[in-house]
Amino acid sequence: MAYASSDIFAFPSTTDTFGNVVLEAQAAGIPCVVSNRGGPCELVENGSDGFVTQALDVGDFARALRALAKDAELRKMMGQEARKRVRDRNWDSAFRQFWNETL
């Protein structure tokens, strides 16, 4: 319910190893702003479905948030891309990817 009523998902963590909450926000069609340190940066394609900002750079993080806050069309487009990005993510495909990379 919280995701459905949100416009932007801000996740500045530099220590999170995966960022399941980022996937949840993307599945709800919300653009995400994350840092370039930690696992969540691997889930967001900068400029497509959200923004990846410089870790610990408050100004960079604020610029990304401001860009999304000021531009409803950008939020909508990035939200749609976020939803597309995670549409096929599930345990079966994750296992297949893991299995294929370990062989």
Q: Name the one residue in this structure whose structure tokens are 């960022």.
A: 19
pLDDT tens-digit map of 68-87: 999 999 999 999 999 999 99
pLDDT higher than threshold 70 for residue 1: no
Q: What is the pTM of this model?
A: 0.88
**Per-residue pLDDT, 46:** 98
**Class of the 9-102 domain?**
alpha beta
Question: Domain coordinates of the chain in residue numbers?
Answer: 9-102
In tens, the pLDDT along 15-53 reads 999 889 999 999 999 999 999 999 999 999 999 999 999
Using CA atoms, how far residue 86 sits from 5, 15, 35, 94, 102, in Å, is 19, 22, 19, 12, 23
Kindly tell me if the per-residue pLDDT of 95 is higher than 80.
no
What is the distance between the alpha carbons of residues 39 and 78, in angstroms, rounded to a whole number? Answer: 20
